[in-house]
Chains A and B, each alone.
Chain A
Amino acid sequence: MPGLVLAAGPAPGGPGGTGRGAGKDAGKDDGADAAAAWERAGAAGIAALPEGETRAVLDATALTPEEAVAFATGAVLGARRAGLRLDLLHPAPDAVLPLWHAAWAVAQGVALARGLVAAPANVLTPKAFGQRLKALERHGIAVHLLGRKRLRQAGFGGLLAVGQGSANPPRLAVLRWAGRIAAPPVVFVGKGITFDTGGISLKPAAGMEHMRADMAGAAACAGAMLALALRDSPAPAAAVLALAENAIGAAAYRPGDVVATLSGRTVEVIDTDAEGRLVLADALNYAVRAFRPEAVVDLATLTGAAITALGHHRAALFGNDPPLGAMLCAAGEAVGERLWPMPIGEAHRDDLRSDIADLRQCAPGGGQPDACHAAAFLREFLGDTPPAWAHVDMAGQARRPPGEPEGASGFGVRLLDRLVALRFEDPHRR
């Protein structure tokens, strides 16, 4: 991520690109709010920079401080290269600076998430993921890691089953940001499958390399925690990240296995490639029990069905609490990480009835609608008095959309950060 320098005055002449030209259409965007348009303009300006450019000036002299920050945010998030220095020109840097501080914090969170998603699976094992999270402690985030032994003692049957085929054992990472408001935290729960072969229900070879991004939900949760910490959010928050590798091997779990989850519910495994919901089941249940949270939001690259349903432009939103869902949708629209509400129907739950266990993990034979089934499954693990819960299936959003250059999107960081800003930072709410 490039550095950004704020400067007062008109743009200097001489070498270096300028982001101004690209912004000329920003105000004309069809109904979207102006900030989002300026953000896109910033990204477009940076994308137009020649390869190898080391310095660029963002001429925001004609913009309001809010627009200038959006412009700079777009440029910084769009840059995706090291060694680039950006100068933001604005007549009132003092007005821009505090706004930029918060935007910068969020950009750091996005960068963390992208870095994690981009890391190859031989480098980013569950253990290595945990170690990288440990590094967040210097920002005031408490990080607690549970290894295989502790998970076994506590009864994380779902997470352990998924991880048992791999030479890299699973971890549960618990991150806490205390904030300043005396209230139960909002908890983010992330799917962190560092690589997903599908297990015994092996995936086809083509495109399997992208399965290193199957931890993008967990990465987004971690990134959001970093953003909250760096901008010193008053809201208490926590993240529970289920980290495992779904490998194929002699010790791997099988279709037909019955697994006792942390909640006590038994689950019949139908397809070992529907592993995300198993690790999330334990992580959600842990989150509810450990934090008694006001709200739980889980993020996961969960189903191909979500991509078939909504493509790459919107992630699927499920949940049990319409106000929380509406707030997430609003947050998504505001930051350009858009969601669409999807249903959990009675029939979807009925499809999960098992002959041998409390429920089965998915409908047999690739039964659809799998994204709805997955959501109906997760809902079962929220405990006896479920908190407000939302589930974001972001299978189509972990990587940048088709037509854009390859790369991790960092999707979810800004969504969660904005959700917290919109709903959880007012100490007098309710």
Chain B
Amino acid sequence: MPDILFVKAALPRAGALVLPLAEGFTLSGLAQEADAACGGAVARGLEAAGFKGRKGQSCTLWAPGGHLSRIVAVGLGGRPDAESARQAGGTALPLIASEPEATIAAEGLNAELTAALAFGARLRGYRFDKYRTREKPEDKPKLVRLSLASAEPAAAKAAFQPLSAVADGVSLTRDLVSEPPNVLYPEEMAERCRALEKLGVTVEILGPKELGRLGFGALLGVSMGSAREPRMVVMQWKGAAAEAQPVAFIGKGVTFDTGGISIKPAGGMEDMKYDMAGAGTVIGLMAALAGRKAKVNAVGLVGLVENMPSGTAQRPGDVVRSYSGQTIEVINTDAEGRLVLADVLWYARERFRPRFMVDLATLTGAIVVALGHEHAGMFSNDDALAQQLSAAGTATGEAVWRMPLGEAYDKLIKSDIADMKNVGGRPGGSISAAQFLQRFIDTREGHVAWAHLDIAGTAWATKDSALTPKGATAFGVRLLDRLVADHYEG
């Protein structure tokens, strides 16, 4: 990623100039100066290209004159806001990535929108290229310095600081999710959580011995087919008064999911490296909260296992005893995520008594059939929390859609031999999975606000979008950071 600087507005003497323009724009400020320096080429070029400033629109003018190598106009839409500024920054980035230096002319925008432009560029500029050993230099991005020309550079820089921490969290999540499964297995993933210690996060790692002693029968059952040991990582960020009740985030971290004995079809199985995206998101989120010194007590817990078929693997028909004491009949070893979450959810609730719990998991294929890739499925036992999440989703563009829970769906996971079974059939498959999790939330001790985000359709993108190059999206980091920022700080 390039260095991001906030500077006083002045026409750059070289490189690329980015003009964020709203609908109905007239060229002013740096845009006007650039136009004058290029003999009116900007106005003419934009007119000829039919550039109107619409959201998502962009237009590149090559070698326009005035020593600039290119001018890139990006649309801010009808009414510029943080969302459209982020999008514009993201849209601009690939268009300037082959220039060593670029300047975004943001002097007409306030500090918040200027920071949002930088944030968008930063998110879109993510790249995971550590395993490309023969990439030609001309194919690599060259941008080393991205300057935001601002009327109030100090204020814009201050506004960018927390966003930069969130972007760091997003990048961390994307790194974790992108890593191949031979490199990133439970032990390694847990070790990478240690990086959060330098941000002030307390990191505890529990191995198979401790988990066995606690009685994590459901999690350990999933793990037992793999040569890799399981881990649970507990991360704590204390940004508020010591006695303040924390908020809790729980992530599914299956570093590779073969399906186990109920093995998956071969086609597309490589995607199962991202079956730890829920955990990866929780880790990135904790980094974001700590990085921006959020005034909240937050805990993040991730259950890390590898789901493999082998002579020691769990079988369909097995009955396991979860940490909660409830027994589970394993019908399908490929419905393993809920088994891992069951123990971690119960532990999180018991140990931390949180204000709310949000879990993230690439849990079901059924949610992709239901909602596709535009929304994550949200299940909640608490209308207020659900509304807060929906609003945060709208604000960040990480959209969630609420799905139902209810008695009729809970009946689908009745077992003949145990307290419940781990699948309820394909009809309503995401809902019965959520019902399963809910059995580890609501207890006789009372209600805790809880939401489950099924991110199976949103954790990975097969094509580029304004803020996300194709690949790991880190869906949920910005959403949950926003949830905390809007409702749970101070």
Contacts and interface: CB of A to CB of B under 8 A. Distances in A.
Contacts of A307: 426-428
Contacts of A370: 369
B429 interface: yes
19 contacts: A30-B407, A307-B426, A308-B426, A309-B371, A309-B428, A310-B370, A310-B404, A311-B409, A311-B429, A311-B431, A311-B432, A313-B408, A343-B371, A343-B374, A345-B374, A347-B372, A347-B374, A369-B369, A372-B372
A382 B205 CA distance: 58
A342 interface: yes
B406 A313 contact: yes
B370 A312 contact: no
Contacts of B369: 305, 308-309, 368-370
Nearest 8 Cβ contacts at the A-B interface? A311-B428, A309-B370, A369-B372, A345-B374, A311-B427, A313-B408, A308-B369, A368-B369
Q: Looking at chain B, what size class is its interface with the partner chain?
A: 20 to 34
A176 interface: no
B401 interface: yes
Interface string B415-455: 00000000000111111100000000000000000000000
A311 B413 CA distance: 13
B366 interface: yes
A268 to B, nearest CB: 20
Contact of B404 (A340, A343, A347): A340
Interface string A340-355: 1011011110000000
A308 B371 CA distance: 11
Contacts of A346: 374
A343 B375 contact: yes
B199 interface: no
Contacts of A309: 366, 369-371, 403, 428, 430
A310 B429 CA distance: 8
Nearest to B430: A309
B412 A311 contact: yes
B368 interface: yes
B8 interface: no
Interface of A: 30, 305, 307-314, 340, 342-343, 345-348, 368-372, 396
Contact of B371 (A311, A314, A372, A396): A372
B373 interface: yes
A347 B397 CA distance: 13
Contacts of A345: 372, 374-375
A372 B406 CA distance: 23
Contacts of A348: 372, 374
Contacts, number: 72
Nearest to B403: A340
A26 B215 CA distance: 41
B421 to A, nearest CB: 15
Contacts of B431: 310-311
Nearest to B368: A368
A342 B409 CA distance: 18
Nearest to B370: A309
B429 A308 contact: yes
Given A345-B375, A347-B373, A347-B374, A308 B404 contact: no
B460 to A, nearest CB: 15
B370 A305 contact: yes
Secondary structure of the B contact surface, majority rule:
helix
A295 to B, nearest CB: 24
B207 to A, nearest CB: 38
A396 B368 contact: no
Contacts of B407: 30
B454 to A, nearest CB: 11
Given A305-B370, A311-B412, A347-B374, 8 more contacts: A308-B427, A309-B366, A313-B406, A313-B409, A345-B372, A345-B374, A348-B374, A368-B369
Interface of B: 366, 368-375, 401, 403-404, 406-409, 412, 426-432
Residue of A345, A348, A368 with most partner-chain B CB within 10 A: A368
Q: Which of A309, A312, A369, A371 has the most CB of B within 10 A?
A: A309
Contacts of B370: 305, 308-310, 342, 369, 371
A369 B368 contact: yes
A311 B364 CA distance: 14
Contacts of B404: 310, 314, 340
Given A345-B374, A348-B374, A313 B368 contact: no
B428 A313 contact: yes
A343 B428 CA distance: 16
A315 B65 CA distance: 61
Given A309-B366, A314-B404, A340-B403, A369 B371 contact: yes
A336 to B, nearest CB: 11
A309 B372 CA distance: 11
A331 B124 CA distance: 46
Given A30-B407, A368-B368, A370-B369, A312 B374 contact: no
Nearest to A345: B374
Contacts of B368: 368-369
A401 B54 CA distance: 48
Contacts of A308: 366, 369-370, 426-429
A190 to B, nearest CB: 23
Nearest to A396: B427
Nearest to A32: B407
Nearest to A343: B401
For A30, A308, A368, A372, the residue with the greatest tally of chain B CB atoms inside 10 Å of its CB is A308
A348 B370 CA distance: 12
A29 to B, nearest CB: 10
Contacts of B373: 347
A39 B205 CA distance: 54
A395 to B, nearest CB: 10
Nearest to B408: A313
The listed residue with most A CB atoms (<10 A of its CB), out of B371, B427, B429, B432, is B427
Nearest to A307: B427
Nearest to A369: B372
Contact of A312 (B401, B428, B429): B428
Contacts of A30: 407
A345 B373 CA distance: 10
A370 B407 CA distance: 26
Contacts of A312: 427-428
A348 B374 CA distance: 8
Contacts of B429: 308, 311
A345 B399 CA distance: 11
Contacts of B371: 309, 342-343, 369, 372
Contacts of A343: 371, 374-375, 401
A368 B372 contact: yes
A201 B403 CA distance: 31
Most chain A C-beta atoms within 10 Å of own C-beta, residue among B371, B373, B407, B429: B371
A343 B367 CA distance: 13
A391 to B, nearest CB: 16
A100 to B, nearest CB: 29
A396 B412 CA distance: 15
Contacts of B403: 309-310, 340
A131 to B, nearest CB: 35
A258 to B, nearest CB: 25
B67 to A, nearest CB: 40
A349 to B, nearest CB: 11
A371 B403 CA distance: 15
B268 to A, nearest CB: 12
